[in-house]
Amino acid sequence: MTDKLKLEVSDEIAIKIESMNKWFGSFHVLRDIDLTVNRGERIVVCGPSGSGKSTLIRCINALEEHQNGQIIVDGTELTSDIKNIDKIRSEVGMCFQHFNLFPHLSILENCTLAPIWVRKIPKREAEETAMHFLEKVKIPEQANKYPGQLSGGQQQRVAIARSLCMRPRIMLFDEPTSALDPEMIKEVLDTMIELAEDGMTMICVTHEMGFARQVANRVIFMDDGQIVEQNEPEQFFNNPQSDRTKLFLSQILGH
Amino acid sequence: MSDNNNSFVRHEMLSERAPPIGERGVFKWARENLFSSIFNTIMTIASVWVIYSITVGVAPWFFNGVWNAETTRECYEILDGVNGACFAVLQERFPQLIYGFKYPSTEYWRPNLATILLLVALAPVLFRSLPKGLLVFSVIYPFLAYWLIWGGTILIPTVAFVGCCIGVACYRKFSSGAFVTAILLGLFSAYLCWFLGGYLISWNDAFLSLKEVPSRDMGGFMLNLLLGTIAVSLSIPLGITLALGRQSNMPIIKWICVVFIEFIRGVPLITLLFVANVILAFFFPPETSIDLILRVIIMMTFFNSAYIAEVVRGGLAALPSGQYEAANSLGLDYSQSMRFIILPQALKISIPGIVNVSVGMLKDTTLVSIISMFDLVGMIRGPILSSTDWNGVYWELFGAAAAIFFVVCFTVSKYSQWLERQLETGKH
């Protein structure tokens, strides 16, 4: 692994979550979550499955609705008001575990659809932007193919490019490498590292601990719907405080 | 081991040879498909025998057929005891089979022209490679076809068309605001246009007028095609709307759709047609008379759209939820994500089902013969078979009806298979 990225974090607050709770039916998935993310921060969220980490980042762009507490993204509070939700969604990009590209549209159309219809950008300009970002993720030559014709790693890079075409100020990653073959993980992580170097605010649910050490400025460990521990990566990995964190780290780093 | 056995040098290269005769072309095919086992061989021989007997039985009847005669009796006289069909009835009653027995024969060019234009109007809808500009004609076509088939002054469809255009334009202009307001304003402006247009029509009702043909004079295969085309083309959008409504978060909309779909699917079409024919009249004020064809079209559209709604719902359910989430996370609103992401994929999955239901609908248009409308089957059962001239020519008439429907339905199903291949975008 290369050296740790040294990046500046501004004082401006990008996301502020205050005593947020969420239930699925009677199941209490997220309990009193407090989290403040400054602009330019790269946060890695980890934890055992079912700990609520995906649900947490899905709440940030309202794919899941939270029941109480506050989520403020870029100064806009998430309420059930559809206008606020649409505004936040266009500011926040998201990448999924299973890419979720649109299989009936070409790669280029995947990237231009939302800019044209949501941002109302002229088609030609949207296509130029799309090609710019496809070059950035190093697959401009695939622009006219369909998602089904690409490998998993390529599809995930397209998904990242598709989000970037909306010029988001925050990117959320929901286990972006969990569905990939080992040799494809690197190409996706490289793309994400580049993104971090450009100063993007990122929240990333992942189990790639190498990535966390290299890129993250903060690691959050979740269990049972609550934030158990958060710290700088060095401290987090070398000197975990809670027993639950120690157990988790010994299990994923133990072999 | 002997020392020579393991070393070998080839001095002459082998030339390419054809496979043995049993392994090529028709022999290979026959061996693999017809005689691959004892059981299959027996089945093959039995099938050949059945096909042979049917052909031997039918061929003389078909080829001895009489094409020129005035009555059944004349037919038999010409045949003179030989086994043969009496196709003369198809020739003599051809206009009746196609246009019904009341449509004025001088006006046959109008439905003919309407049918040809129908193909032109359908082309840009069915084949996406054609220029989009042709769709303008597809939009105008329904109004043009109404004028051609029913006749009357051209002002009626024109006013209807202008009203629709103004309504849509009005909706577009206000659609950035509240949805309901835009819809109401659109409807109101369209209604206003029709209302004013009504005066224009009553003031000059002979302008570019074709001879008027009332609905009860429509008949024959023209009526089947008319009912089928209109019911199918209206029920696809209605069915999609119902399917989306059934998935809605709003309980009232959801329950209206569920009740509608379940009720219509639970009732036989023939019952709905009787309702259209007889009972519906009780619900309207005595002086209003809604055209019978219109009532039948409404019922058939409802019936077909309930089935299409369920087919589309299956397609929607088959999409992974990730597609909805991806569309949402990009900031697409409900109508955009439906229009660009969800429906194109769901409808693609639903094509076989939609075509299946629609072909069924096209054939079910023959049920109107039971409520005394003279469609193709109604014409055969009624005026033709009961006439003294053509008593007892069942096989020829119903065979011809079957052939006509088969050609149309088979074409539709071939088109749908082609469309499915076109929409394939490559899987792993």
User: What is the C-alpha separation between B378 and B357, in angstroms, rounded?
Assistant: 22
**Phi and psi at residue B7, in whole multiples of 5°?**
-105, 140
What average pLDDT does this structure show over B168-173? Answer: 82
Tell me how far the alpha carbon of residue A8 is from its chain's centroid.
19
- Residue A3's pLDDT is 60
Classify the C-alpha dihedral B144-B146-B152-B155 as positive or negative.
Answer: negative
- Residue A255's pLDDT is 56
Residue A102 clears pLDDT 60, i.e. is over it: yes
Give the residue from A59, A100, A154, A172 with the most B CB atoms within 10 Å of its CB, the best one to mutate. Answer: A100
Per residue in B284-323, pLDDT (tens digit) is 776 666 778 888 898 999 999 999 999 999 999 999 999 9
pLDDT-based confidence at B4, cuts 50/70/90? low
Residue that the structure tokens 């309420």 belong to: A79
A61 contacts in B (CB within 8 Å)?
A: 328-329
- Residue B283's pLDDT is 72
Percent of chain B at pLDDT > 90 equals 28
Residue A185 clears pLDDT 80, i.e. is over it: yes
pTM of the entire structure? 0.83
Per residue in A187-230, pLDDT (tens digit) is 889 889 988 888 899 999 998 888 888 888 899 999 988 999 99
Could you tell me which residues of chain B have a Cβ less than 8 Å from any Cβ in chain A? Answer: 320, 322-323, 325-333, 336, 340-341, 344-345, 348, 423, 425-428
- For residue B4, the SS3 value is coil
Q: Do B340 and A148 touch (CB under 8 A)?
A: no
Of A98, A148, A166, the CB nearest to B331: A166
Per residue in B223-263, pLDDT (tens digit) is 999 999 999 999 999 999 999 999 888 899 999 999 999 99
- Residue B310's pLDDT is 94
Structural contact between residues A32 and A206, judged by C-beta atoms closer than 8 angstroms: no
Residue B3 clears pLDDT 90, i.e. is over it: no
User: What is the C-alpha separation between A189 and A178, in angstroms, rounded?
Assistant: 11
Can you read off the two tokens belonging to residue A184?
């494809």
Does the interface ipTM go beyond 0.85? yes
Of A62, A90, A96, the CB nearest to B326: A96
pLDDT-based confidence at B266, cuts 50/70/90? very high
In one-letter notation, the amino acid at residue A139 is I
**Phi and psi at residue A96, in whole multiples of 5°?**
-110, 165
Per residue in A219-230, pLDDT (tens digit) is 999 998 899 999
B336 contacts in A (CB within 8 Å)?
A: 117-118
Tell me how far the alpha carbon of residue A210 is from its chain's centroid.
17
Per residue in A22-81, pLDDT (tens digit) is 999 889 999 999 999 999 889 999 998 888 999 999 999 888 888 888 899 988 888 888
CB pairs under 8 A between A and B: 71
Q: Do A96 and B425 touch (CB under 8 A)?
A: no
**Rounded to the nearest 5 degrees, what angle is found at the Cα of B158, between the Cα atoms of B155 and B164?**
140
User: What is the C-alpha separation between A163 and A152, in angstroms, rounded?
Assistant: 17
Among the residue ranges A174-183, B69-78, B358-367, the one predicted with the least confidence is B69-78
| DSSP category for residue B375 | B
Can you read off the two tokens belonging to residue B268?
């036989």
- Residue A1's pLDDT is 45
What average pLDDT does this structure show over B200-217? Answer: 77
Of B330, B345, B348, the CB nearest to A166: B330
Among the residue ranges A97-111, A128-142, B197-211, the one predicted with the least confidence is B197-211
